[in-house]
Amino acid sequence: MAELNGKRIVIAGGSGFLGLSLAEHFVEAGGQVTILSRSQPKRSGRWETVTWDGRTPGNWMESLNGADAVVNLAGRTVNCIKTPDHQDEILRSRVESTRVLGEAMRVVSSPPPVWVQMSTAHIYGDPPTAVCSEESIEGIGFAPMIGRAWESEFARSQLPGQRGVILRTSFVIGRDRGAGSGALGTLGLITKLGLGGRVGKGTQGLSWIHEYDLNRLFTRAITEHSMSGIYIASAPNPVSQVEFMRTLRKSMGMPIGFPAFEWMVRIGAPLFFRTDPELVLYGRYVVSKRLANEGFTFTFPRLEAALEDLCRKKMLRHAI
Ligand SMILES: NC(=O)c1ccc[n+]([C@@H]2O[C@H](COP(=O)([O-])OP(=O)(O)OC[C@H]3O[C@@H](n4cnc5c(N)ncnc54)[C@H](OP(=O)(O)O)[C@@H]3O)[C@@H](O)[C@H]2O)c1
Q: Identify the structural domains of the chain with CATH numbers, from first to last.
A: 8-180+208-234 (3.40.50.720)
Tens digits of residue pLDDT in 74-129: 999 999 999 999 999 999 999 999 999 999 999 999 999 999 999 999 999 999 99
End-to-end CA distance of the chain: give it in Å, rounded: 30
Q: Is 76 in the pocket of ligand 1 (CB under 6 A)?
A: yes
Nearest atom within ligand 1 for CA of residue 39: 40
The length of the chain in residues reads 320
Nearest CA owner, ligand 1 atom 39: 38
Own/partner pairs, 189-196, CB within 8 angstroms, 24+ separation: 189/320, 191/245, 191/248, 191/249, 191/252, 191/254, 191/257, 192/252, 192/254, 192/320, 194/254, 194/256, 194/257, 194/258, 195/257, 195/258, 195/260, 196/245, 196/248, 196/249, 196/254, 196/257
φ, ψ of residue 260 in degrees (nearest 5):
-125, 125
Average pLDDT, the chain: 95
Is residue 206 pLDDT above 80, yes or no? yes
Is residue 318 pLDDT above 80, yes or no? no
pLDDT at 2 (0 to 100): 67
Nearest atom within ligand 1 for CA of residue 79: 20
pLDDT at 315 (0 to 100): 52
Probe residue for ligand 1, chosen from 10, 11, 17, 34 as the CB with the greatest number of ligand atoms within 8 Å: 17
Probe residue for ligand 1, chosen from 25, 38, 53, 154 as the CB with the greatest number of ligand atoms within 8 Å: 38
φ, ψ of residue 70 in degrees (nearest 5):
-125, 140
Percent of the chain with pLDDT over 90: 94
Burial of 7 (0-12, 13-18, 19+ CB in 10 A): buried
